[in-house]
Amino acid sequence: MEENFPKYFTSIPHLYYFALILDPRKKLEIAKVAMNSIGYAVGLDYSEAFQHVNDELYRVFHLYRTKLGGTPRVPEQTSQKKARKSSAVNLWKQYIGNDQASPSSENKSTWNPDSELNHYLVTNHTKHDPTLGGDDVDLLGWWKEKERTLPVLAHFARDILLVPASFVSSEQAFSVTGIIREKRTKVMPDSRDS
């Protein structure tokens, strides 16, 4: 059996690493430890594989960001909130001066498109979020809650974390457990003729 390990572990699909990285309790550090442990156990060198997975993570994130429009979605404000905001901005402009009071022009020039992914990777979410404590964590629910602050990653995580649930067909799962018996899966002759 051990001679088959290199065959199966030489190329582990990125999907599994992405799922591990998108678990806020694990992220990149645990993915690196997992890769090194697997490599050590089966006698393979994964030294370049981690950097490759990291590069692929950013590449796929860029694809999602492009697909979703590239900018974070800001919820629409009511007209009353808009009026208050514009009057506050006008007050600020009067106080500071027109040329310094335009934060949007400065933000556009220094905005980093990877900041959402970088912020996720460096933030210790388990320290700040008690729902991540324990073994029974609803990762999809956690990402649903983060849609406003991490919109691109939330879509990315939803797509990645849902895939493993769809690998086994329902017929195969039920047949293994014996719920669907052979006679229930056959088409009866009188049904075929109709």
In this structure, what token pair is assigned to residue 41?
């156990």
pTM: 0.59
Query: Is the confidence at residue 80, as pLDDT, over 70?
Result: no
Q: How confident is the model at residue 107 (pLDDT cuts 50, 70, 90)?
A: very low
Q: How confident is the model at residue 48 (pLDDT cuts 50, 70, 90)?
A: confident
97-101, 114-118, 136-140, 163-167: the lowest-pLDDT one: 97-101
Greater confidence (123 vs 134) lies with 123
The tens digit of pLDDT for each residue in 60-76 reads 999 999 998 755 444 44
Q: How confident is the model at residue 105 (pLDDT cuts 50, 70, 90)?
A: very low
In this structure, what token pair is assigned to residue 82?
């808009």
In this structure, what token pair is assigned to residue 147?
């849609």
Query: Can you tell me the mean pLDDT for 124-140?
Result: 84
Q: DSSP labels for 4-21?
A: GHHHHHSS--HHHHHHHH
Cβ atoms within 10 Å of 184's Cβ, excluding its own: 8
Query: Is the confidence at residue 14, as pLDDT, over 70?
Result: yes
